[in-house]
């Protein structure tokens, strides 16, 4: 991932240095287990533990010749350890190291991601509570529907992101596994107790059973949970972008002092961060699809997945970490234009209160269908009239002979649409 979208703490997990450091943790843990079981000399293990190290540049140089990164790594480590290096990687295959170390790094990355999910939830919760009773117009099909509460919009986001977190934590649990089971996963040269001991030391779970690799449905589920989370974040960002449109003007991204919106038009304040959230989410969905393609491998394994995972796993972790970080900034600096929201509710002269009038009229008229026709006739008439909907309603005898002026006015009361918001909030928060 390019530096522009990489936060330092997350980026550090996916450096070459940290990759090889995690490989070394696996090798040392395996040597410790073998030593405790009496399979390799304890003196040899103590030497391995003390001296084992590597140099990235040296690994790169060796790999250029042998064309195998794990062999290059082991050769570099052996140069530090000396003769006892013959006990390193005992009975193991490359993927014992690669997949177990990947579990370590993905688990570490997930902890950073989860912290940002929690922070995002906290910011959404603040907005929801602050605007629980802030009225705004609801829209369906992009068209005015009925008044609702801005807090309810945020409550929707809150519950959706909570579900995303639940999925992500479950997926994290699935990838937090290791395997030390040999070339085809049958433990031919190692007792399963070695795997158990290594995983316990590294705070991973042993895969119940494996081939040469940990099965890639685990990674696909993990990448899919990230993609789904990103899709929700894009949904939230798209709502902000829409409500920032000039003709709507209800929400707006914060605009820092000295910030510029356009190289050509000095007046511009654009929702650039929300747009970035939306754009990067598309990459994460693409990565999830590539993760699914990696599930079906030949027999006990091939390496068609390997090159793909070198890109999609680090990039997905780095990107969701960055997207969450940026969206937290959007939320914490979000500008809410309550007056514009109020004005938009009444922009149509009361048309958005039509359902309440329909319900009020249906009983006295004796037919919902007749009441609907009366209300719709007046609604369509108001669209091409200088009179507002409520003014036209009060001149229609089909309405006034059944409803008093007070009863008509009650149909246009904004508070009616917010009367049960607190009950919903009790279910959510």
Tell me the CATH number at 310: 1.20.200.10
Total-model pTM: 0.94
Looking at the domain assignment, is residue 114 inside a domain? yes
Beta strands at 177-178 and 205-206: parallel, antiparallel or unpaired: parallel
Same domain membership, residue 321 and residue 231: yes
Q: What is the number of other CB atoms lying within 10 angstroms of the CB of residue 85?
A: 20
The string of pLDDT tens digits covering residues 140-186 is 999 999 999 999 999 999 999 999 999 999 999 999 999 999 999 99
pLDDT score recorded for residue 256: 76
Same domain, 384 and 333: no
**Maximal CA-CA distance, the chain:** 103
Q: How far apart are the first and last CA of the chain?
A: 37
Per-residue model confidence (pLDDT) at position 50: 97
Helix, strand, coil % (nearest 5) of the chain?
Answer: 65, 5, 30
Check whether residue 223 and residue 277 sit in a common domain.
yes
User: Is 429 inside a domain boundary?
Assistant: no
| Residue 239 φ/ψ, nearest 5 degrees | -65, -45
219: containing domain:
93-182+213-346
Same domain, 361 and 342: no
Q: Which of 122, 262, 367, 385 is catalytic?
A: 262
Residue from 141, 263, 299, 307 carrying the catalytic annotation:
141
User: Per-residue pLDDT tens for 280-301?
Assistant: 999 999 999 999 999 999 999 9
107, part of any domain? yes
In a domain, residue 48? The reply is no
User: Which parts of the chain sit beneath pLDDT 50?
Assistant: none
Tell me: do 292 and 402 sit in the same domain.
no
CATH number of residue 366's parent domain: 1.10.40.30
pLDDT for the residue 267: 81
Q: Do 268 and 391 lie in a common domain? A: no
Give the pLDDT score at 255.
Answer: 78
Q: Could you confirm whether 262 is annotated as catalytic?
A: yes
Q: What is the pLDDT of residues 35-46, one digit of tens each?
A: 999 999 999 999
For residues 128 and 364, what is the distance between their CA atoms, to the nearest angstrom?
Answer: 39
Q: Tell me, yes or no, whether 258 lies in a domain.
A: yes
Residues 311 and 387 in one domain: no
End position of a domain, from candidates 346, 366, 391: 346
Query: Which structure tokens are listed for 340?
Result: 């514009």
pLDDT score, position 264 = 78
Residue 191 lies in a domain: no
Structural domain count, the chain: 2
């Amino acid at each position: 991932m390019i530096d522009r979208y990489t936060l330092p703490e997350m980026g550090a997990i996916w450096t070459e240095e940290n990759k090889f450091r995690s490989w070394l943790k696996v090798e040392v843990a395996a040597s410790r287990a073998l030593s405790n079981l009496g399979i390799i000399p304890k003196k040899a293990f103590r030497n391995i533990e003390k001296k084992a190290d590597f140099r990235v540049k040296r690994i790169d140089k060796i790999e250029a010749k042998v064309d195998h990164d794990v062999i290059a790594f082991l050769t570099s480590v052996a140069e530090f350890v000396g003769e006892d290096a013959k006990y390193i990687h005992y009975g193991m295959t490359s993927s014992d190291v690669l997949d177990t170390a990947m579990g370590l790094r993905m688990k570490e990355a997930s902890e950073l991601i989860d912290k940002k999910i929690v922070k995002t939830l906290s910011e959404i919760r603040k907005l929801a509570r602050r605007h629980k009773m802030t009225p705004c117009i609801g829209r369906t099909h992009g068209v005015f529907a009925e008044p609702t509460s801005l807090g309810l919009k945020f409550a929707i986001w809150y519950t959706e992101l909570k579900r995303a977190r639940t999925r992500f934590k479950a997926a994290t649990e699935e990838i937090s596994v290791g395997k030390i089971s040999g070339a085809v996963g049958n433990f031919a040269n190692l007792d399963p107790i070695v795997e158990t001991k290594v995983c316990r030391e590294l705070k991973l779970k042993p895969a119940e059973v494996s081939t040469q690799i940990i099965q890639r449905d685990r990674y696909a589920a993990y990448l899919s949970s990230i993609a789904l989370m990103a899709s929700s974040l894009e949904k939230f960002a798209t709502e902000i972008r829409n409500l920032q449109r000039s003709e709507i003007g209800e929400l707006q991204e914060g605009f820092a002092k000295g910030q510029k919106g356009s190289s050509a038009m000095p007046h511009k304040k654009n929702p650039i961060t929300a747009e970035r959230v939306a754009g990067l989410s598309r990459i994460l969905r693409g990565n999830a699809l590539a993760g699914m393609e990696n599930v079906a491998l030949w027999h006990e394994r091939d390496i068609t997945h390997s090159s793909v995972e070198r890109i999609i796993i680090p990039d997905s972790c780095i990107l969701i970490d960055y997207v969450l970080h940026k969206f937290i900034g959007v939320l914490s600096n979000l500008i809410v234009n309550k007056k514009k929201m109020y004005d938009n509710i009444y922009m149509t002269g009361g048309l958005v209160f039509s359902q309440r009038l329909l319900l009020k009229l249906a009983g006295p008229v004796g037919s919902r269908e007749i009441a609907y026709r009366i209300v719709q006739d007046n609604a369509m008439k108001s669209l091409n009239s200088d009179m507002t909907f409520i003014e036209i309603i009060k001149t229609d005898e089909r309405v006034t002979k059944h409803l008093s002026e007070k009863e008509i006015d009650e149909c246009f009361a904004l508070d009616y649409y917010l009367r049960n918001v607190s009950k919903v909030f009790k279910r959510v928060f």
